[in-house]
Amino acid sequence: MLLKISNKIDQLINSMKLFDVYPLNDITIVKAEGSYVWDDTNQKYLDLYGGHAVISIGHTHPHYVKRLEDQLHKVGFYSNSIKIPLQIELAEKLGKVSGKEEYQLFLCNSGAEANENALKLASFYNGRKKIITFKKGFHGRTSLAVAVTDNPNIVAPVNQTDNVIFLPFNDEQSLENAFAQNDISSVIVEGIQGVGGINVASNAFLQKIRSLCDQYNAVFIADSVQCGYGRSGKFYAHDYSGVNADIYTMAKGMGNGFPVGAISISPKIQPKHFMLGTTFGGNHLACAAAMAVLEIIEQDELMKNAEVVGNYLITALKKLPHIKEVRGVGLMIGIELPEELKMVKRNLLYNHKIFTGEAKPNVIRLLPALNISTVEADIFLAALTKELNDI
Ligand SMILES: Cc1ncc(COP(=O)(O)O)c(C=O)c1O
């Protein structure tokens, strides 16, 4: 009893050392492999969350581990003041796997940073200030990225700006009106809104953004930080619309856990020295991690797997009782439950040992590794079926 109390006090003191910005699950992960993680009591969990869509090729993938280890023995870091051939290799590989071979690469460290650079680059390109963004969109927490994010709670007064126009998602008419009335620099849009609850952009909507950006010489920024990198079954979720964006922003799945982000830039936008820059972006280790990910995506045909297992899951989920709606494409799936079933996500974790993501108001988000198997999908389906049937 006394030991328990003193453990609790220790925990409390330790927790006060960290700036408390997240509610935490009381779980400590000490080991991970493929689509599984283990806690410090050796309890195994199925991971359908991937640390927020980050684990793309599975935890501790042997090729990834070897690539990083080998690189660390050569050179871990040097700045962008010297040539880094790995960056060119990465740009070529990304161009090939994404099908945008004529695009140029700028490397950074996170999703917010990628969006920040994209919005800035667009403004450099056409000299304008106004940005169109959408309701329920999430683009990160740095100054412009958070200003174009639809969540007033995370926008500090210093981030507020009149340069941002929020429009309803998938509404072509309001887009046309906004372009007609403002001098638009760029439009930033997720192909599938993640934090906003898995809302898929319609093809017609993305095509309309393309044609208006062409008409007004504005820049189409495809935020692919969460929905990109093969997760939808295509490299960029926006590819389903058949039109190209001017800038694709990416991070999360790009490094399978190593912090790396990037923007892929159409040849219509030309660089000038010092318009963008970074200390850590594109360092040797980050490039090695990103190369390993692309090599496995290509070699193991993970986009195909995302499509096949994604369809398998979505079809099965649509047959289950009590679910309000199943949304998504490939391995980016939202399961909207009625308010009275909000304990299901927690039960999946604590009763069935399955990690899933969430979105407001009551959406279970599946963001597994792209090489998840149907066997693992079945484990989840059985657990969810049991939860729903037990109601
Ligand atoms: C669509 C989207 N854009 C940008 C970001 C920000 O990425 P990061 O947390 O790496 O800055 C996120 C993070 O969840 C995201 O989902």
Q: Atom 10, ligand 1: which residue's CA is nearest?
A: 111
pLDDT along the chain (391 residues), means of 10: 56 76 95 98 98 97 98 96 97 98 98 98 98 98 98 96 98 98 98 98 98 98 98 98 98 98 98 97 98 98 98 98 98 97 97 96 97 98 96 81
Report the pLDDT value the prediction gives residue 254, as an integer from 0 to 100.
98
Q: For the chain, how far is it from start to end, CA to CA, in angstroms?
A: 36
What letter does residue 109 receive in the DSSP assignment?
S
Q: How many C-beta atoms lie closer than 10 Å to residue 142's C-beta? A: 16
| Residue in 373, 374, 381, 376 with CA at minimum distance from that of residue 364 | 381
Q: Atom 8, ligand 1: which residue's CA is nearest?
A: 111
Report the pLDDT value the prediction gives residue 264, as an integer from 0 to 100.
98
C-beta of 138 in contact with ligand 1 (< 6 A): yes
Residue with tokens 């040097």: 78
CA distances to 82, 103, 104, 389, 390 from 284, in Å: 11, 21, 18, 51, 51
Classify strands 184-190 and 130-134 as parallel, antiparallel or unpaired. Answer: parallel
Question: What are the beta bridge partners of residue 223?
Answer: 190, 249
Report the pLDDT value the prediction gives residue 391, as an integer from 0 to 100.
81
CA of 227 to the centre of ligand 1 (A): 10
Report the pLDDT value the prediction gives residue 223, as an integer from 0 to 100.
99
| Residue in 151, 153, 157 with CA at minimum distance from that of residue 139 | 151
C-beta of 223 in contact with ligand 1 (< 6 A): yes
CA 355 to chain centre: 17
Burial of residue 20, with CB atoms counted within 10 A of its CB: 0-12 exposed, 13-18 middle, 19 or more buried: exposed
- Strand arrangement of the beta sheet that strand 130-134 belongs to: 104-108, 261-265, 247-250, 219-223, 184-190, 130-134, 164-167
Note the helical H segments in the chain. Answer: 2-16, 50-53, 62-74, 85-98, 111-126, 143-147, 172-181, 203-216, 284-299, 302-317, 344-350, 374-389
C-beta of 194 in contact with ligand 1 (< 6 A): yes
Assess contact for 289 and 67: CB atoms under 8 A: yes
Ligand 1 binding pocket mutation candidate from 55, 190, 225 (most atoms within 8 A of CB): 225
Ligand 1 binding pocket mutation candidate from 226, 358, 365 (most atoms within 8 A of CB): 226
Dihedral sign (CA 46, 363, 193, 145): negative
| Distance of alpha carbon 369 from alpha carbon 390, whole angstroms | 29
Report the pLDDT value the prediction gives residue 360, as an integer from 0 to 100.
87
C-beta of 196 in contact with ligand 1 (< 6 A): no
| Distance of alpha carbon 36 from alpha carbon 373, whole angstroms | 12
CA angle 66/69/71 to nearest 5° reads 105
CA of 134 to the centre of ligand 1 (A): 15
Assess contact for 94 and 282: CB atoms under 8 A: no
What letter does residue 305 receive in the DSSP assignment?
H
